[in-house]
């Protein structure tokens, strides 16, 4: 399938900027670039019934959560969401608009997690932050207006990786009970190369960018084999929550997302898999310029209502 015209126009716009490649810049400059891009690509922010920022304790510090509550009477289903950005970029503001829209479409409480970033905080800090945030939300859901029996995790790209890993950790530790997982073009295996890494190199995400993020995130090369970095390597993927897994046809991460969906199905996990064949990496946040970004939000909302 040909590349979506809106996605092509976006890539042409990026090329016209003549910006330096991500892998040549400092994390600080790339974080500023991510904020600039979000302002250009996010849909206009929608009103929701309530938005609250809250600090919760984490290992050796605190992390911030942003809690979006829809109109209506709870208790609401809850989605704990982890942003993308290669574990190096991103914050609560970068996906504020898409998560507001998701809150309204799904009639669900969405909790966005400002986990600590690499290289200042290498693996496993982000993993531990996201697990602790999910545990906190599950324990406090009734006080927030949420349903502790319908807590899901989700994320895009590196955030999809974190959502998959938190699902594994919750199963392995016996808490919290998770109702669902939403994995949007997730990173699932840093241990080897996949054909899509080369085939779709340069469609917004490049192989050099992926190596850059990996270098900043991991402590040692051996971390690639850790199942809490590469969940596809887990020997046992049974007894995990049902999953919605989304991939993009022009995404270097396509193959490992598809492979994770297949492994979950083999393990007896209920999986809904969908590939946006004409889309590029990152489009969840591009609903202001790419219609498929809006479609994806509606698809996720529909899954969360089941």
| pLDDT at residue number 306 | 65
Cα dihedral 139, 145, 149, 151 sign = negative
Percent of the chain clearing pLDDT 70 (strictly above): 100
Please give the pLDDT value at position 293: 98
Residue-level pLDDT at 172: 98
* pLDDT, tens digit (0-9, with 9 covering 90-100), for 41-68: 999 999 999 999 999 999 999 999 999 9
pLDDT-based confidence at residue 269 (cuts at 50, 70, 90)? very high
The rounded mean pLDDT for the chain is 97
pLDDT band for 305, please (50, 70, 90 cuts): confident
Q: Kind of pairing, strands 180-184 and 146-156?
A: parallel
Q: What is the pLDDT of residues 122-168, one digit of tens each?
A: 999 999 999 999 999 999 999 999 999 999 999 999 999 999 999 99
Give catalytic residues, as residue numbers: 157, 251, 281
In DSSP notation, 15-55 reads HHHTPPPGGGS-HHHHHHHHHHHHHHHSPPPPP-SEEEEEE
φ, ψ for residue 278, nearest 5 deg? -105, 15
| pLDDT digits 0-9 by tens, 204-222 | 999 999 999 999 999 999 9
Residue 242 has pLDDT above 80, yes or no: yes
pTM score above 0.95: yes
Question: Chain-centre distance of CA 72, in angstroms?
Answer: 26
> CA torsion sign, 130 to 84 to 167 to 177?
positive
Cα–Cα–Cα angle for 292, 298, 302, rounded to 5 degrees: 140
Distant-in-sequence, close-in-space partners of 237: CB < 8 Å, separation ≥ 6:
231, 263, 264, 266, 267, 269
> In terms of DSSP H, where are the helices of 107-248?
125-144, 158-173, 195-199, 207-217
Residue 10 contacts by C-beta under 8 Å, 6 or more apart in sequence? 41, 204, 280, 286, 289, 290
List the one residue out of 154, 42, 162, 129 whose CA is nearest residue 93.
42
- 5-304: CATH topology is Rossmann fold (3.40.50)
pLDDT of residue 228 exceeding 70: yes
Parallel, antiparallel or unpaired: strands 76-82 and 109-114? parallel
Q: Which two structure tokens, joined as six digits, stand for 142?
A: 């009734």
Q: Are 166 and 134 in contact (CB under 8 A)?
A: yes
3/16 Cα distance (integer angstroms): 18
């Amino acid at each position: 399938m040909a590349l979506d015209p809106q996605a092509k126009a976006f890539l042409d716009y990026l090329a016209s900027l003549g910006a330096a490649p991500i892998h040549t810049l400092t994390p600080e400059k790339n974080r500023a670039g991510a904020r600039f891009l979000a302002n250009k690509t996010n849909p206009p922010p929608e009103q929701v019934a309530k938005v609250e920022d809250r600090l919760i304790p984490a290992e050796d510090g605190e992390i911030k959560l942003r809690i979006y509550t829809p109109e209506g009477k709870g208790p609401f289903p809850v989605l704990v969401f982890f942003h993308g950005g290669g574990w190096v970029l991103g914050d609560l503001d970068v996906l504020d608009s898409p998560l507001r829209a998701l809150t309204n479409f799904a009639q669900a409480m969405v909790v966005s997690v400002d986990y600590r970033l690499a290289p200042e905080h290498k693996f496993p800090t982000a993993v531990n932050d996201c697990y602790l945030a999910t545990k906190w939300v599950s324990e406090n859901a009734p006080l927030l207006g949420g349903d502790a029996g319908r807590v899901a995790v989700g994320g895009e790209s590196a955030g999809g990786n974190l959502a998959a890993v938190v699902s594994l950790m919750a199963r392995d530790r016996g808490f919290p009970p998770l109702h669902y997982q939403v994995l949007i073009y997730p990173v699932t295996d840093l241990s080897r190369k996949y054909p899509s890494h080369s085939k779709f190199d340069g469609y917004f995400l490049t192989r050099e960018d992926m190596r850059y993020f990996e270098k900043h995130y991991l402590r040692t090369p051996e971390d690639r084999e850790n199942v809490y970095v590469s969940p596809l390597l887990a020997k046992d993927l049974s007894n995990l929550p049902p999953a919605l897994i989304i991939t993009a046809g022009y995404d270097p991460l396509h193959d490992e997302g598809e492979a994770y969906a297949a492994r979950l199905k083999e393990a007896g996990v209920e999986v809904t898999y969908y590939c946006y064949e004409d889309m590029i990496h990152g489009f969840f946040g591009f609903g202001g310029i790419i219609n498929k970004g809006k479609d994806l939000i509606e698809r996720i909302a529909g899954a969360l209502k089941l």
